[in-house]
């Protein structure tokens, strides 16, 4: 997988949970905090989002909001509500549940909403995601981000019209929504802050190539010199450029990615620890276990048992 796909794969566990509702009159709900990333889509009508800092944002049809850190916030019919004082969000419906109540246009003051959350493993959140702001708001502007707009339209169509295959389509569309909204933010951020941070790292030819080498072959005994050679830069210039964009040195990022990959392997499979160690570039099970415990706070075997016994969930 490419780096951006790996970013999403490391953060997401299972399927997104969501509620789909028509809201009217005076209403408001509190969402979060939770160990996940929240999202809201205004399918029709309009409403207010009460940001974690208390500032209101007017949302209109087609707007998408993403809260990557699961901060507490509110959704309301008016901008003068306090999120902490609102009743909690409606009970989440299963991935295969929807109301099918959107075949008619909302009346004035009504809103048709899709609200939900992606479950995350906070121990494996990629540095790219940690660098995201508390709130990402992608307004519905004609001609902007057509792939995201198409995903929103498809979600709206499947939620309001119970066609055959909806149970399979909705989880896939929610996954696509996550990809497209992060791409949209990346595009907009790159135009605002070119030349710095993860936006630059994912588009800079040398740094992006080095990241792809690390992600595709974490078991290789990389050195800074070898990575610099692969991307056509001197050791010193490459190390400086990589660190300035990524926020970590090449070797620190390599170590993090190896252990993050190991955690995913432990969570999803039954491979012996010695095999896992070899897959991510450690010469011995002992060295791997020590490094893993320093990062995750528990030994690999215990991590595997606990992760399977108590998976991360979002209300």
User: Each residue of 271-280: pLDDT tens digit?
Assistant: 999 999 999 9
Q: What is the pLDDT of residue 155?
A: 87
Comparing C-alpha atoms, which of 66, 62, 7, 12 is closest to residue 208? 7
CA angle centred on 299, ends 293 and 301, rounded to 5°: 150
210 and 297 together in one domain: yes
Task: Residue 291: give its domain's CATH number.
Answer: 1.10.10.60
Is the distance from CB of 62 to CB of 140 less than 8 angstroms?
Answer: yes
Given pLDDT bands bounded at 50, 70 and 90, which one contains residue 220? very high
List, for residues 172-203, the tens digit of each pLDDT value: 888 889 889 988 988 888 777 666 678 888 88
40 and 182 together in one domain: yes
In a domain, 8, yes or no: no
Cis peptide before 300 (omega within 30 of 0): no
β-strands 73-76, 17-23: how paired? unpaired
Distances (CA, A) of 295 to 176, 188, 216, 219: 31, 33, 21, 18
19 and 98 together in one domain: yes
In a domain, 115, yes or no: yes
Mean pLDDT score of the chain: 85
227 and 149 together in one domain: no
Q: What is the pLDDT of residue 129?
A: 83
Higher pLDDT, 159 or 137: 137
250 and 134 together in one domain: no
28 and 146 together in one domain: yes
> 164, exposed or middle or buried, with CB in 10 Å at 0-12, 13-18, 19+?
exposed
State the total domains in the chain: 2
Task: Residue 165: give its domain's CATH number.
Answer: 2.60.120.280
Q: Please give the backbone phi and psi of residue 308, each rounded to the nearest 5 degrees, phi first.
A: -80, -30
Given pLDDT bands bounded at 50, 70 and 90, which one contains residue 292? very high
247 and 300 together in one domain: yes
**Domain end call among 173, 192, 211:** 192
Mean pLDDT of the region 218-223: 96
50 and 184 together in one domain: yes
Q: What is the pLDDT of residue 192?
A: 73
Q: Is the pLDDT of residue 51 over 50?
A: yes
Given pLDDT bands bounded at 50, 70 and 90, which one contains residue 233? very high
What percentage of the chain carries pLDDT values higher than 90?
47
For residue 264, what are the domain limits?
199-309
In a domain, 154, yes or no: yes
Given pLDDT bands bounded at 50, 70 and 90, which one contains residue 314? very low
Q: What is the pLDDT of residue 93?
A: 46
Cα radius of gyration rounded to whole Å, the chain: 21
Is the distance from CB of 54 to CB of 82 less than 8 angstroms?
Answer: yes
């Amino acid at each position: 997988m490419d780096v951006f796909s790996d970013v999403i794969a490391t953060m997401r566990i299972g399927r997104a949970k969501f509620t789909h509702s028509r809201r009217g009159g005076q209403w408001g709900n509190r969402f979060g905090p939770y160990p996940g990333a929240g999202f809201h889509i205004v399918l029709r009508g309009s409403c207010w989002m009460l940001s974690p800092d208390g500032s209101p944002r007017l949302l209109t049809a087609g707007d998408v909001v993403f809260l990557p850190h699961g901060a507490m916030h509110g959704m309301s019919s008016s901008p003068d509500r306090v999120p902490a004082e609102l009743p909690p969000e409606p009970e989440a419906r299963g991935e295969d549940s929807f109301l099918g109540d959107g075949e008619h246009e909302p009346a004035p003051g009504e809103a048709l909403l899709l609200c939900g959350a992606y479950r995350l493993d906070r121990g494996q959140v990629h540095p790219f995601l940690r660098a995201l702001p508390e709130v990402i708001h992608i307004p519905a502007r004609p001609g902007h981000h057509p792939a995201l707009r198409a995903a929103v339209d498809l979600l709206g169509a499947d939620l309001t019209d119970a066609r055959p295959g909806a149970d399979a389509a909705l989880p896939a569309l929610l996954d696509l929504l996550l990809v497209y909204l992060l791409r949209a933010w990346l595009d907009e951020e790159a135009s605002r802050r070119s030349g710095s941070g993860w936006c630059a790292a994912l588009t800079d030819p040398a740094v992006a190539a080095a990241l792809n080498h690390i992600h595709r072959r974490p078991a290789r005994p990389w050195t800074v010199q070898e990575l610099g050679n692969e991307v056509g830069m001197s050791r010193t210039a490459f190390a400086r450029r990589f660190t300035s964009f990524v926020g970590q040195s090449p070797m620190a990022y390599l170590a993090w990615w190896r252990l993050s990959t190991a955690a995913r392997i432990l969570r999803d499979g039954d491979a012996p620890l010695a095999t896992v160690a070899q897959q991510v570039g450690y010469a011995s099970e002992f060295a791997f276990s020590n490094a893993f415990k320093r990062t995750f706070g528990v030994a690999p075997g215990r991590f595997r048992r606990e992760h399977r016994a108590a998976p991360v969930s979002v209300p």
